[in-house]
Amino acid sequence: MRAGRQAWLMWGTAVVVYMAAVFHRGSLGVASLEATRRFGVGPAALGTFTVLQLLVYSAMQVPTGLLVDRFGPRKILTAAAFTMGVGQVLFAIASSYPLGLLARAVLGFGDAMTFISLLRLASAYFSARRYSLVVSLTAALGGLGNLVATVPLTLLLHEAGWTATFLVTGLATAAYTLLTLRLRDTPAGPAPRSAPVRLTDVARNVRATLRIPASRLGFWVHFATMAAPTVLSLLWGFPYLVQAQGLSAETASSVLGVMVIVMIVSGPLIGGVIGARPAIRMILVAAFLMFAVGLWALLLLWPGRMPTALLTVVFGLMSLGLPLSAIGFSIARDFNPLHRVGTASGVVNVGGFFATTVAALGIGLALGWGASFRLALVVPAALMALGIWRTAVWWRRARAEVFAAEARGETVPVRIRAHRWDAKVKMEAA
């Protein structure tokens, strides 16, 4: 594999599409209060915008892997940019709630095709050793798109208004397809096309992926680490900070901006560490999850309004879950055969976005039923608790499988040291 100028140029061209996807995904975050006025809806209906978009995203993960295998990342990334542009233009002109929902669904469809395509492109251009670093850099640069969707977007909405803001960003995204058409699937040119895949083959491929404990572990790592910070940055963090904590719109945007900055700075650092020492990946995940429990306890139990500085620290530290969620992809990549890496990446990606979807819907329903924000935030906290439990279960089973493979004389991708608490467990479905 090559990792020279061409590799970074191809990746850099493709990562802009991902940055646009993250921007469009998070654009409703600071526009949520304005959306309630524009469409005349309450918290539950507002949450449906994000829930629908994430449902479409989650449902498209495995099909996207198959589409990339069939047509190559260049064509799929081009289709993704054009589709997101159309969706954002629809959102700009939407004045009714149903049309707004349709626009977010179209956005979710285009968004769903970006990350898996980018991972496939990276696999073709970068070595396995550099892959973790590239994935972390991708997540960090995606954070720039999220950063633009905080304070800058707040100011643009205030100055230019809803229609002009979303119309310009949508048209710019669609126009970027002129550059994605110049991508090359592999250093040698177009990727070889796979044969058409039947539904029975898809189901068989997914089952084979899920039989590998590391695939399940990657799913639950993504589920546990990603959902809470994502639901705060995508939709409910801004109204929580404004309505429950009494911050101004500008200050709330700044707090969300700190989340993004922490993610951008920490992403490459985490990627470099786990690329050099893959054996400590799960130690980092476990340390964050234990720390996150304390962060949620502060949000749920603090009497009255929290100081702005403390809120900023809590939100900033919570955002570490986003770059750490990339560990799920590297684990799945290491322990799946190359021809199933696309499917495995899709399965892992479903974990975090499914949890985010449930959390966004749960918060919206709770607020719609008259619950306070403090009570509504129990939903993502409970989902994280579920993710911690299942991550612990599959971490133990994945370790047992590594030790069993070593005992059979097989080569394992990552060697780990056994501890007293390691014991062979019966491999059974969760």
Q: DSSP per residue over 153-170, as a string?
A: HHHHHHHH-HHHHHHHHH
Q: What is the pLDDT of residue 428?
A: 41
Question: 3-class SS at 41?
Answer: coil
Set out the domains of the chain in order of their start, with CATH numbers: 5-186+208-407 (1.20.1250.20)
Rounded distance between C-alpha atoms, residue 354 and residue 204, angstroms: 22
Does position 11 have pLDDT exceeding 80, yes or no? yes
Question: 3-class SS at 186?
Answer: strand
DSSP state of 185: S
Structure tokens given for 415: 């060697």
Half-sphere exposure of 336 (CA within 13 A, CB side): 31
DSSP state of 422: -
CB 130 within 8 A of CB 208: no
The rounded percent of the chain whose pLDDT value lies above 90 is 35
Q: What is the pLDDT of residue 58?
A: 81
Rounded distance between C-alpha atoms, residue 91 and residue 170, angstroms: 9
Rounded distance between C-alpha atoms, residue 32 and residue 10, angstroms: 35
Q: Mean pLDDT, to the nearest integer, of 342-363?
A: 86
Name the burial class of residue 94, with classes exposed (0-12), middle (13-18) and buried (19+) by CB atoms within 10 angstroms of its CB.
buried
Of 170 and 405, the one with more pLDDT: 170
Query: Which of 85-94, 104-113, 228-237, 239-248 bottoms out in mean pLDDT, i.e. has the lowest?
Result: 228-237
Of 322 and 131, the one with more pLDDT: 322
Q: What is the pLDDT of residue 427?
A: 44
**pLDDT tens figures, 182-229:** 888 888 766 656 556 666 767 777 888 888 899 999 999 999 999 888
Alpha carbon separation from 3 to 11, 129, 326, 356 (Å, rounded): 10, 11, 20, 34
Q: What is the pLDDT of residue 430?
A: 40
Does position 288 have pLDDT exceeding 90, yes or no? yes
What value does the mean pLDDT of the chain take?
A: 85
Does position 306 have pLDDT exceeding 80, yes or no? yes
Does position 385 have pLDDT exceeding 60, yes or no? yes
CA angle 187, 191, 197 (to 5 degrees): 160
Region at 370 (left for phi over 0; alpha for psi -120 to 50; beta for the rest)? left
Structure tokens given for 401: 């499988």
Of 330 and 429, the one with more pLDDT: 330
The model's pTM: 0.78
Q: Mean pLDDT, to the nearest integer, of 313-324?
A: 92
Task: Name the residue among 216, 257, 240 with its Cα closest to residue 363.
Answer: 240
Of 387 and 198, the one with more pLDDT: 387
Q: Mean pLDDT, to the nearest integer, of 390-409?
A: 84
Q: Mean pLDDT, to the nearest integer, of 7-35?
A: 87
CB 384 within 8 A of CB 296: yes
**pLDDT tens figures, 229-252:** 888 887 788 889 998 999 988 898
Structure tokens given for 165: 């803001």
Which amino acid belongs to residue 387? Answer: G
Q: Mean pLDDT, to the nearest integer, of 355-380?
A: 89
Q: What is the pLDDT of residue 189?
A: 66
Does position 43 have pLDDT exceeding 80, yes or no? no
Residue 169 has a CB neighbour count (10 Å cut-off) of 24
CB 359 within 8 A of CB 231: yes
Does position 14 have pLDDT exceeding 90, yes or no? yes
Positive or negative, the CA dihedral 221, 282, 231, 135 is negative
Question: Which residues neighbour 410 within 8 Å (Cβ) at sequence distance 6 or greater?
Answer: none
Q: What is the pLDDT of residue 338?
A: 65
Which amino acid belongs to residue 132? Answer: S
CB 139 within 8 A of CB 15: no
Q: How confident is the model at residue 326 (pLDDT cuts 50, 70, 90)?
A: confident
Q: What is the pLDDT of residue 2?
A: 45
CB 326 within 8 A of CB 141: no
Rounded to 10 deg, the angle between the 5-39 and 97-112 helix axes is: 170
Query: Which of 263-277, 317-331, 386-400 bottoms out in mean pLDDT, i.e. has the lowest?
Result: 263-277
